[in-house]
């Protein structure tokens, strides 16, 4: 049996689904009401900043009504209890992993609770609305703040750190993601190339399910706590 020291976990919208945060590609998917090109590209923001700011303002406000579920809590328990290296990489822009207690965490697609100043590059924490052209708290420029979200066509955050962690990992686990969006969908291939064991935990088989050594299909809120219990013994 291979000894496991270094773990990388990738999460997607499915880990927050049981908290009541809509996923992107399900029947109630978030993109249903809006075409993705209308809200999640730099071009959309240039064309209609008010629509895009309101869309993300509503999602930011909706975070107040949701809470971490047993999957977030179990991942935080693993983070606290695991003595080896562990990195939780999330594609989610909600704050449920940190509210659940995870610390070794990177948001590769940005965070709803941050703004990004196009004038000075600051990324201040942001709890309220961005529509109405508030001023940047660092440089004072008005009307230059956008959501700190990685839109289609933009480079995800923390890629060097993520790549290094995957290269060194013994176990790669993907939870609640459809495997539709790159580069995250390619992480399982990187992990395999690095010699890691790979596990998928998802409601149903993802687009890349055949690439994983093992798969467990069902709700994350039930399967993740079970898997964490097994790992922590």
Cβ at position 71, least distance to ligand OAD in Å: 7
The helix or strand, by DSSP H or E, that contains position 175, with its residue range, turns out to be strand 171-175
Please state whether the peptide bond connecting residue 183 to the residue before it is cis, i.e. omega within 30 degrees of 0.
yes
The CA distance from 191 to 87, in Å, is: 13
By C-beta, is 144 or 221 nearer to ligand OAD?
221
By C-beta, is 170 or 179 nearer to ligand OAD?
179
> Please, where are the H alpha helices in the chain?
14-17, 36-39, 42-47, 49-62, 70-81, 96-100, 159-167, 187-193, 220-232
Which of the residues 72, 97, 107, 109 is marked catalytic?
Answer: 109
Residue nearest to ligand OAD (CB): 14
Chain residues that interact with ligand OAD, rule: CB under 6 A: 12-14, 17-18, 23-26, 29, 40, 91, 93, 109, 150, 176-178, 180-181, 202-204, 206, 219-220
By C-beta, is 6 or 92 nearer to ligand OAD?
92
**181's tokens:** 């969006």
The CA distance from 105 to 101, in Å, is: 10
Q: Verify whether residue 109 is a known catalytic residue.
A: yes
Cβ at position 135, least distance to ligand OAD in Å: 26
Task: State the catalytic residues.
Answer: 109
């Amino acid at each position: 049996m291979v000894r496991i020291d270094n773990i990388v976990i990738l999460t997607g919208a499915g880990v927050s689904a049981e908290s009541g945060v809509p996923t992107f590609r399900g029947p109630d998917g978030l993109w249903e009401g809006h075409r993705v090109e209308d809200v999640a590209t730099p071009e959309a923001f240039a064309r209609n900043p008010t629509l895009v700011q309101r869309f993300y303002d509503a999602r930011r406000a909706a975070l107040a009504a949701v809470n971490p579920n047993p999957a977030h809590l179990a991942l935080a328990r693993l983070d606290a209890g695991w003595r080896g290296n562990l990195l939780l990489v999330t594609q989610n822009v909600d704050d449920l992993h940190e509210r659940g207690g995870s610390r070794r965490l990177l948001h590769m697609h940005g965070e709803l609770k941050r703004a990004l100043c196009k004038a000075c590059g600051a990324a201040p924490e942001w709890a309220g609305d961005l529509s109405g052209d508030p001023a940047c708290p660092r440089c004072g420029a008005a009307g230059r703040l956008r959501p700190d979200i990685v839109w289609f066509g933009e480079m995800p955050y923390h890629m060097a750190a993520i790549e290094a962690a995957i290269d060194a990992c013994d176990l790669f686990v993907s939870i609640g993601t459809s495997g539709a969006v790159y580069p995250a969908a390619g992480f399982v291939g990187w992990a395999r190339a690095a010699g890691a064991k790979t596990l998928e935990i998802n409601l149903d088989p993802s687009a890349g399910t055949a690439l994983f050594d093992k798969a467990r299909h069902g709700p994350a809120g039930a399967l993740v706590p079970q898997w964490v219990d097994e790992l922590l013994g």
